[in-house]
Amino acid sequence: MNTYQIPTSREISVTINGVRQGVVQGYTLHAQKESRSLEAFGSSLPVATVTGREQYTITLKRLLLAQQPQEDFFDLEDFTLSIVKPECQIVFSGCQWQSIDQSCTVGENCLETVTVVAQRRMVLE
C-alpha cells in the first residue's frame, strides 16, 4: 500500500536576495497580463490578440522577521523574493515593494504585512 502525503503550507519561509529573512502566516498572489486586440481595416471584429507584460502582486501576511540578518524592506529595490513551501519554491524577480504595514506590541514580535510587485515568476520543485 502506497502512502501519499498531501503537502501543506505549515512552513512558508521568505528569502530575499538568497538570505532567509523569516516566515509568513500566509500570502496572496495576484497575477495580471496585459493584452490588446488587433483590428484589421474594414473588419468589425478583432483579428488577433497580442499579449504584453506580466505583473505579479504578492502580499506577505503576518511576516515575522528573523532576528539577524534582517533586510530593511524600505531600502530594497530590484530584489529577488523566494517563497519556500514544503512542496516547492516560488521565485519572483525584478521586485519592488509597494506597501508596508507594521504592527508591534511591547514584549512581542513585530509583524509586518508587505506588498511586493514583481516582473517575473518561476517555480522550482
Nearby residues of 63 by Cβ (< 8 Å), 6 or more positions away: 14, 22, 23, 24, 111, 112, 113, 114
Given a contact cutoff of 8 angstroms between Cβ atoms, the answer to whether 47 and 36 are in contact is no
The residue among 111 and 28 whose pLDDT is bigger is 28
Residue 99 lies in a domain: yes
User: What digits encode the pLDDT tens for the residues 48-70?
Assistant: 888 888 999 999 888 877 765 56
Query: pTM to 2 decimals?
Result: 0.74
Cell of 68: 539577524
Residue 118 lies in a domain: yes
How many C-beta atoms surround the C-beta of residue 94 within 10 A? Answer: 15
**How many domains would you assign to the chain?**
1
The pLDDT of residue 115:
94
Return d(Cα 115, Cα 2) in angstroms, integer.
41
Residue 22 lies in a domain: yes
Give the DSSP letter string of 62-77: EEEE-SSS---GGG--
The residue among 2 and 19 whose pLDDT is bigger is 19
Residue 112 lies in a domain: yes
Residue 16 lies in a domain: yes
Confidence of residue 7 (pLDDT cuts 50, 70, 90): very low
Residue 44 lies in a domain: no
| DSSP one-letter code for 6 | P
Where in the sequence is the domain holding 87, given as residue range(s)? 12-31+54-124
Residue 46 lies in a domain: no
Indicate whether 111 pLDDT > 70.
Answer: yes
Confidence of residue 46 (pLDDT cuts 50, 70, 90): confident
Residue 107 lies in a domain: yes
